[in-house]
Amino acid sequence: MRRGQQPPWIVSDELWAEIEPLLPPRPPRHHRFPGRERLDDRRVLCGILFMLHTAIP
C-alpha cells in the first residue's frame, strides 16, 4: 500500500451504495429482551475484508 492510498479493506461510498440495498433489513429490537445492540453493517464488512486481506486466522 502506497502513502496516500486507502487500505483495500475500507469500503468506499460508491461500493457501499451498491452493497447496502442487498442487505436484509434490521429486525426491530424487543423491549422485554433487547439483547446486545447490533453493530454497524459497514464496519462489520470492513472487518471481514481486513481479516481476508491480512489472512489473520
The predicted pLDDT at position 31 comes to 82
pLDDT score of 45 more than 90: yes
Domain extents in the chain: 7-18+39-57
For the entire predicted model, the pTM comes to 0.75
How far does Cα 8 stand from its chain's mean position? Answer: 13
Confidence of residue 57 (pLDDT cuts 50, 70, 90): confident
